[in-house]
């Protein structure tokens, strides 16, 4: 049993499509994870981490209704289990397979739940899940901003996307619980705030500050604010669909994961336009707003900053975010974990994956040659210094997570001797023909 504070990183498996669905922005491919996955798992261990946000490439694994290709996943997940690394299974990260098309497809929720169940049956040792990552951001970028997937730009398209995405998340949780009744779910969601630029913008800012909670309100079965309810009804959600969310509450199985970046706060104009404000309130203030709304255990599930010309920009951001975590914790919020995202540098996130430029963004704990960055060294030291302190403090909620390899001699011996080793072809990287 692992009861400690959850220090984590992630290996990003974003897969949105752009250019009318013709180009797949596969971050695992761009960051060469298919080539270096064993090395990447070595790096996780070198940092002293026991927890990894990780999932299969959905578009290559989920090949059709009830059809799956587990080749790459079997090799990777067997190796993670052998290393006794706790996986937070990241099943859907900003995209779907071509045969689903996009998040406007009403068949997505039911079909995705079948996939989630199949995953849980194949890897029963996985206990912790993020079924759909950043539900609100996925719907906004795909159906409101016109950047990804369906590339639509309307309130009606956004409501269609958000109701399908959150329903998929809920049905997936139910399907996983049928296989693993003690499963835990971490909703990695962007924590946002909108600041009015002037008095004329107050109404616009207030509406956006209400709508920012929409994905979590629906997921946790909380009644939305009245203005948001009217917005949903005006843009295609039916009363029956709304009541589905109220009546399917799995909040007791959940940890509220919230992500915070420098770009999470916004200025709002009187015309509803928005622009980045930079950090004004910061993680601690905004996290209190989310915690007061849902009263759930909290995990800081994503943050990063580019390593700039001085070489210490990301390190200073790491320490600032960690100070915010400690402040939240010391104020009595049951915060259970912290994540620098991701393990390696990313590609094309400087343009939010809207263009296939191939630009490397120095955001990782390691660069794409797998050399440790200054932020990686600082995070390694932070983990070493704090991992033995936090679990002994009474304010820290202990999450009952089973280790992949339990304290069982037979199971340990089986892992050591290679029992249940997948076939050699299972370790071959998938071929992306997009």
Q: Which domain holds residue 152?
A: 6-427
Residue 323 forms part of a structural domain: yes
Residue 1 forms part of a structural domain: no
pLDDT of residue 4: 85
DSSP 8-state assignment for residue 251? G
3-state secondary structure of 28: helix
Domain total of the chain = 1
Residue 259 forms part of a structural domain: yes
pLDDT of residue 427: 40
Mean pLDDT by 10 residues, the chain (434 residues): 90 98 98 98 98 98 98 98 98 98 98 98 98 98 98 98 98 98 98 98 98 98 98 98 96 97 97 96 98 97 97 98 97 96 98 98 98 98 89 58 72 40 40 41
Q: How far apart are CA 338 and CA 299, in angstroms?
A: 6
The dihedral region occupied by 352, where left means phi > 0, alpha psi between -120 and 50, and beta the remainder, is left
pLDDT of residue 407: 52
Residue 204 forms part of a structural domain: yes
Q: How far is CA 169 from the centre of its chain?
A: 12
pLDDT of residue 419: 37
Residue 434 forms part of a structural domain: no
3-state secondary structure of 204: helix
- pTM across the whole model: 0.93
What CATH number corresponds to the domain at position 199?
A: 3.20.20.80
Q: What is the mean pLDDT of the chain?
A: 93
pLDDT in tens, 256-287: 999 999 999 999 999 999 999 999 999 999 99
> How many Cβ atoms from other residues are within 10 Å of residue 216's Cβ?
23
Q: What angle do CA 136, 137, 140 make, to 5 degrees?
A: 85
Q: 83-107 b/e with 16+ CB inside 10 Å = b?
A: bebbbbbbbbbbbbbeebebbbbee
From residue 288, alpha-carbon distances to 205, 324, 329 in Å are: 19, 11, 10
Q: What angle do CA 366, 134, 400 make, to 5 degrees?
A: 80
pLDDT of residue 39: 98
């Amino acid at each position: 049993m692992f009861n400690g504070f959850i220090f984590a990183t992630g290996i990003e498996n974003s897969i949105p499509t752009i250019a009318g669905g013709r180009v797949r922005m596969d971050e695992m491919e761009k960051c060469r994870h298919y080539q270096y996955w064993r090395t990447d798992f070595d790096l996780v261990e070198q940092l002293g981490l026991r927890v990894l946000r990780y999932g299969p490439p959905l578009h290559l694994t989920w090949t059709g209704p009830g059809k799956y290709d587990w080749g790459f996943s079997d090799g990777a997940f067997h190796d993670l289990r052998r290393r006794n690394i706790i996986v937070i299974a990241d099943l859907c990260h900003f995209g779907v397979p071509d045969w689903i098309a996009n998040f406007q497809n009403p068949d997505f929720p039911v079909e995705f739940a079948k996939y989630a169940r199949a995953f849980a049956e194949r890897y029963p040792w996985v206990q912790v899940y993020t079924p759909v990552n950043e539900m609100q951001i996925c719907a906004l970028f795909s159906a409101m901003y016109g950047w990804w997937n369906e590339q639509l730009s309307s309130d009606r398209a956004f409501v269609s996307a958000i109701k399908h995405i959150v329903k998929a998340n809920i049905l997936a949780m139910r399907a996983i619980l049928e296989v693993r009744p003690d499963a835990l779910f971490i909703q990695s969601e962007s924590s946002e705030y909108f600041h009015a630029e002037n008095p004329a913008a107050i109404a616009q800012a207030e509406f956006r500050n209400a709508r920012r909670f929409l994905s979590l309100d629906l997921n946790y079965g909380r009644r939305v604010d009245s203005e948001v309810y009217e917005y949903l009804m005006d843009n295609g959600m039916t009363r029956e669909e709304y009541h589905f969310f109220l009546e399917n509450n799995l909040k007791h199985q959940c940890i509220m994961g919230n992500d915070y970046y420098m770009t999470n706060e916004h200025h709002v104009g009187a015309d509803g336009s928005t622009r980045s404000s930079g950090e004004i309130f910061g993680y601690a203030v905004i996290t209190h707003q989310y915690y007061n709304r849902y009263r759930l255990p909290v995990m800081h599930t994503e943050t990063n900053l580019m390593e700039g010309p001085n070489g210490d920009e990301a390190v200073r951001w790491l320490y600032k975010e960690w100070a915010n975590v400690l402040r939240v914790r010391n104020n009595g919020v049951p915060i259970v974990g912290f994540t620098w995202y991701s393990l390696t540098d990313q590609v094309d996130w400087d343009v939010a994956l809207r263009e296939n430029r191939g630009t490397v963004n120095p955001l990782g704990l390691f660069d794409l040659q797998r050399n440790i960055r200054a932020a990686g060294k600082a995070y390694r030291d932070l983990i070493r210094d704090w991992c033995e302190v936090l679990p002994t403090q009474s304010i820290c909620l202990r999450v009952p997570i089973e280790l992949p390899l339990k304290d069982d001699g037979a199971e340990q011996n089986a892992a050591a001797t290679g029992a249940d080793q997948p076939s050699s072809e299972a370790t071959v990287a998938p071929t992306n023909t997009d």
